[in-house]
A and B are shown apart, each in its own frame.
Chain A
Amino acid sequence: MSKRDNRTLKTSQLLALVACRVLIGWHFLYEGFVKVLNPNWTSKMFLLDSQGMFKSWFLWMANTEGVLQTVDFLNQWGLVLIGASLILGLFSRIATVAGAIVLALFYLSHPPLIGVEYMLPSEGSYMIVNKNLIEMFMLIVLALIPTSQYIGLDRLIFRSRRK
């Protein structure tokens, strides 16, 4: 078997990764739309509740009106675009990297560290590892093992580029 063959994904492996991509995309898309459709939504309270080593940076974002508006806009539409992109498999590489960055920011603003208290309630119980971190690493896996060139609109782009 050649080296290239070893690198080819089996159908079951490919389908499992595509399922992960679509599910994460669904999650992003819904989180985005919920924020877009709520005219009163702002990330201010979430940012004010930040802890960890980047706390002062997140507080600066929350307390600077122009920055907060930009952060809110990027958060709302960023989540929608990343979500749609992951589901459709269109520009997925960019979407996976952008999604991982967004999740890293969410994680860094609210790291579930020992002895750290938050005003906003968490939906689960965590110690250092939380769902944001897991989803972020799943997106890193999807960035390293792209699937959209096999199943997704990127296949059309990939094919036309190959010619």
Chain B
Amino acid sequence: MEEENKKSELVTSSMKMDRRDILKSLATVPIVGAFAYGMYKKNRYYETLNSKLLEELDFDIKEQTGLNVPTDKKIRIGVVGCGGRATYLMRSLGFANPAYIDEQIEWSKTDKGWQERLQNFIDQDDMGVEITAICDVFDIHAEEAIKSGQNIYRQGSKGKMGRAPKRYLTYQELVRADYKRKNEMYTFLN
């Protein structure tokens, strides 16, 4: 009888979760809380940033459906520093270098995936922006960026082009020109 009691005591004590077990099991749970807080802070930050930007642009997003942005009042963009990053940024706005489109057309001839991507790029909605100024001390970068900026119909080198953006050597010149135009140009830096 005594032996049985001892056995049952042993079983009960091993069944019990001691404090060490509980602490070690729950040790990483507070990280979920820190994650949730970080995510809330980041979302709030970008919400505030976006609402300020929309306010500055006098743009009511609630009135818009899809990318139906006003094309009569285009947002003018000046590009300072026209290296790789600017090339990607301009392309994401719908302005690709004609040589890039040529290359895509060439690849599309044998590849369905490229064909669809190119078509998606060409068919994308007008974002209501125009590249009006290019600023770079390097001639090659500036010339390529001008070609991208005027490729408003998203065509290859033999295609129809729009008005070429004006080139500036220094950002000071660009800012002065912007000031004379009553700050109608929104500049992004690279």
Min Cβ gap B115→A in Å is 10
B32–A155 touching, CB < 8 Å: no
Interface string of A89-115 (1 = CB under 8 A from B): 100000000000000000000000000
B117–A119 touching, CB < 8 Å: yes
B112–A26 touching, CB < 8 Å: no
Q: A22-B31, A84-B32 are in contact. Are A155 and B117 (CB under 8 A)?
A: no
With a cutoff of 8 Å between Cβ atoms, the chain B residues found around residue A84 in the complex are 32
A to B contact number (C-beta, < 8 Å):
61
State which of A33, A151, A152 has its C-beta within 8 Å of the C-beta of B39: A33
List the one stretch of B18-26, B132-140, B153-161 in contact with chain A: B18-26
With a cutoff of 8 Å between Cβ atoms, the chain A residues found around residue B31 in the complex are 22, 26, 87
A77 contacts chain B at the CB level, 8 A cutoff: no
- Per the bound structure, the CA–CA distance linking A33 and B117 in Å amounts to 26
Interface centre among B28, B35, B116, by most A CB within 10 Å?
B28
B24–A150 touching, CB < 8 Å: yes
B88–A121 touching, CB < 8 Å: yes
Which residues of B91-138 have CB atoms within 8 Å of chain A's CB atoms? 112-113, 116-117, 120
A155–B116 touching, CB < 8 Å: no
B57 contacts chain A at the CB level, 8 A cutoff: no
- Per the bound structure, the CA–CA distance linking A87 and B39 in Å amounts to 15
B27 contacts chain A at the CB level, 8 A cutoff: yes
With a cutoff of 8 Å between Cβ atoms, the chain A residues found around residue B27 in the complex are 151-152
B25–A152 touching, CB < 8 Å: yes
With a cutoff of 8 Å between Cβ atoms, the chain B residues found around residue A89 in the complex are 25, 28
B32–A88 touching, CB < 8 Å: yes
A49–B15 touching, CB < 8 Å: no
State which of B11, B17, B35, B88 has its C-beta within 8 Å of the C-beta of A156: B17
Q: List 27 A-B contacts (CB under 8 A).
A: A22-B28, A22-B31, A26-B31, A29-B35, A30-B35, A30-B39, A33-B39, A45-B117, A45-B120, A50-B113, A55-B113, A88-B28, A88-B32, A89-B28, A121-B88, A151-B27, A152-B25, A152-B27, A152-B28, A153-B25, A153-B26, A155-B24, A155-B25, A156-B21, A156-B25, A163-B11, A163-B15
Please report B residues at the A interface, Cβ cutoff 8 Å.
11, 14-15, 17, 21, 24-29, 31-32, 35, 39, 43, 84, 88, 112-113, 116-117, 120
